[in-house]
Amino acid sequence: MTKGTILSGMRPTGPLHIGHLVGALSNWASLQDSYRCFFMVADWHALMSEYESPEVVREATLQVAIDFMACGLDPERSTIFVQSDVPEHIELYMAFSFVTPLGWLERCPTYKEQLRNITDRDISNYAFLGYPVLQAADILVYKADTVPVGEDQLPHLELTREIGRRFNHLYGGIFPEPQAMLTNAPRFLGLDGRKMSKSYGNYISLSDTAEDIRAKVMTMFTDPQRQRKSDPGRPEICNVHRYFDIFAPDEAREVADKCRKAEWGCTDCKMRIAEILESRISPIRERQAALMADPAEVEDILTRGAQQARDVAEATMAEVRPAIGLKGTRR
């Protein structure tokens, strides 16, 4: 049986955190043997909104590539690359812009929402409107059929299919119809009970030390009615308990019991979850350190990744160029 092809990516806008690990990277790592996988650091996509901070994106690009590998993406089994190293993405993006009506982009719910919510950066530019067109090119330049993403990306997947369909209709059937693979990732909140966000700084990052982790966990909100250790607590409304559900499901019931019966205090409880988080993060931190100590090796992996990616992307473009009226010479 031929394997399906997966492509997914993340925008390098800052260091990755446990939300990325649980929400995406653990899942991606588990797919590597069953699919032909392409995992991309989407630096062009990051720049569409962060173009005023090139140094942030430049630094985060390498960091995210390192974090991918530290979290178990394996360059021996998957193609790990940086989007801008594969210029075919931009070329297909241009071709797709022919067949993408402005209305599709203007109506895209993620676009409308970001225009409303992002106020500290100027995203009223031409590029940002075309964000989903580049995403369609990312996916279809590899003829990927499966795209593991979170729910927030579903409108982009729908546009990818529509763009591919319109292209196929006009120029002949080159592209498959990719499906989203919804990561049934457990949802969990930041340390302060709000959505994890770079601007709130309310998360445990993949490079936090044991000491950082303990200090951050100690700031977590618990059951506000539990003032003293002798007060019975309500694990069902406690964010710390949610972390047990996710990071130590086999302990969660016992923890809830001890909380309800006031058999241990919130500090005891937090010390335990800090320990659990540390045991999950320390191997990642060690792999990060090893990779950071060998930047030439990381460069080498990304160069090989880009080469593998280009081989596939070039084959697709060799079909696309003549179909849309270009001379179509192979590079």
Q: Is 266 in the site for ligand SF4 (CB under 6 A)?
A: yes
The only residue of 145, 208, 223, 278 in contact with ligand SF4, by rule CB under 6 A: 223
Interaction between residue 274 and ligand SF4 (CB under 6 A) = no
- Selection from ligand SF4, ligand TRP, none that 11 binds (CB < 5 to 8 A by kind) is ligand TRP
Which residues within the stretch 131-190 sit at the binding site for ligand SF4 (CB under 6 A)?
A: none
- Beta-carbon contacts of residue 134 (< 8 Å; ≥ 6 apart): 44, 45, 48, 89, 90, 93
Task: Please answer whether residues 47 and 125 qualify as being in contact, where contact means their C-beta atoms are separated by less than 8 angstroms.
Answer: no
Q: Judged by CB under 6 A, which of 5, 8, 61, 146 binds ligand TRP?
A: 8
Query: By CB under 6 A, is residue 243 in contact with ligand SF4?
Result: no
Any contact of residue 138 with ligand TRP (CB under 6 A)? Answer: yes
Q: Is 277 in the site for ligand SF4 (CB under 6 A)?
A: no
| Closest CB to ligand SF4 among residues 182, 271 | 271
Strand partners, 79: 38
Q: How far is the C-alpha of 144 from the C-alpha of 160, rounded, in Å?
A: 11
CA distance readout (Å), 61 to 38, 198, 295:
16, 16, 13
Q: Binding ligand TRP by CB under 6 A: which of 31, 41, 42, 204?
A: 42
Task: Please give the backbone phi and psi of residue 283, each rounded to the nearest 5 degrees, phi first.
Answer: -65, -30
> Can you count the helices (H) and strands (E) in the chain?
15, 5
Tell me: does residue 313 bind ligand TRP (CB under 6 A). Answer: no
Kindly state the smallest distance separating residue 207's Cβ from ligand TRP, in Å: 20
Rg value, the chain, Cα: 22
Which residues form the interface with ligand TRP (CB under 6 A)? 7-11, 42, 45, 135, 138-139, 147, 149, 153, 156
